[in-house]
Amino acid sequence: MSSTAQVPSPSARRLAAPAPGWTKTTDVVVVGSGVAGLTTALRVREAGLRVLVVTKAMLDDGSTRWAQGGIAAALGEGDTPEQHLEDTLVAGAGLCDEEAVRMLVTEGPGAVRRLIATGATFDQDDEGEILLTREGGHHRRRIAHAGGDATGAEISRALVEAVRTDDDLELIEHALVLDLLTDAKGRTAGLTLHVMGEGQRDGVGAVHARAVVLATGGLGQVFSATTNPAVSTGDGVALALRAGAEVADLEFVQFHPTVLWLGPDAEGQQPLISEAVRGEGAHLVDADGVRFMVGQHELAELAPRDIVAKGIMRRMHETGAEHMFLDGRHFGAAMWEERFPTILASCRSHGIDPVTELIPVAPAAHYASGGVRTDLRGHTSVSGLYACGEAACTGVHGANRLASNSLLEGLVFAERIAADIIERDRLGKAPPPPP
């Protein structure tokens, strides 16, 4: 069963964190610059509220731009949210919140269309229909992609451009969030942060706001080998814990089955080989060319990620090998160049040509299915504190995230958080009590 944890909030933090050297006041602070954070910020700004986006590095340095495969939604002919629901529940190994999943898959197609209206462009066929592919755990082709294998980069580009062209949306880059500020009743009142290189805002300061949205991404850098960028160090979860918020399912860290193996001493962010490569027909094989996933699951290489990762590790132990191989040589040069240009360039930069060679792969830490516990509107157990994206535990992933549901979760829950903040502002309602 899923697990929940909480630490008490020290009374000293009720009124203040470190003494601020500068202060600022706004309506909403969004921490993070991925699809979840920027979507929240843009939707709240559309209602005329003041929004400040805080990001640890540059605006486009979050995890979103590294997403290769795509975004899952029931957009194809014959596909339905109910089928997407079933695949998600199976992948989650019985630990998903079914109500949350149903909401995700039902609202997902509309959220993707609104993302397109914001400026994101997905790959299309000759008739102008969105091209869809398959990934692990999906029984249908429902993964929309962009630039072949650069979906996250395109989504990030569109959202960053929308943020930068909104002159009223404020931004602080190169800022590390420190602690949540709360009032005497325990309600969110802002946060403190340490800014580096912002002129007059350099150093520790405080931002006062009625709502704080944590969209800080994952914690992959806790592991020696990960697909996550250097900024993914769990800052949002740590801040929430210090503020007394509940977290859940932190033990469910998903390992991606196919990460480019760079040797036993490789550390930090490793190149990802998207599941979409297998979705288009690449095979997992051992050194003898045996497709070892055949017979282990009805979907073979396209089984849910936990099953494929365990299958790879099992074969490695059986054969004494340090890695397995992904075989996409039958694709041919044209398909590699058109469908997977980013992966092709990444492999070639490391001396491997997927057009003519097997790709060495092994599992690596990839995604945190758990995080700050929220309800269906992104509320945490601290009044006025919201969480979404990989930093949150919404219940949609259970023990194992279904491929390409991450961008969708960030998108859908960002819109729900924005709607909640806007509604409460319009009605003059205080933040909700702890759930």
The residues carrying an active-site annotation are 305
Closest CA to 53 of 28, 35, 36: 28
Q: How deeply is 13 buried, as exposed, middle or buried, from its count of CB atoms within 10 A (0-12, 13-18, 19+)?
A: middle
User: What secondary structure letter does DSSP report for 273?
Assistant: -
Give the integer Cα–Cα distance in Å for 94 and 100.
13
- Helix, strand, coil proportions of the chain in percent (round to 5)? 35, 20, 45
- Residue 413's contacts (CB-CB under 8 Å, 6 or more residues apart) are 36, 374, 378, 388, 389, 392, 394
Q: How deeply is 21 buried, as exposed, middle or buried, from its count of CB atoms within 10 A (0-12, 13-18, 19+)?
A: middle
Q: Which DSSP string corresponds to 372-397?
A: EE--TT-B-SSTTEEE-GGGEE-SSS
Helix (H, G, I), strand (E, B) or coil at 61: coil
The helix (run of H) or strand (run of E) holding residue 276 is helix 275-279
CB distance 362 to 324 below 8 Å: yes
The helix (run of H) or strand (run of E) holding residue 212 is strand 211-214
Residue type, 41: A
Q: How far is CA 311 from each of CA 266, 287, 303, 363, 397, rounded to the nearest angstrom? A: 22, 15, 10, 10, 21
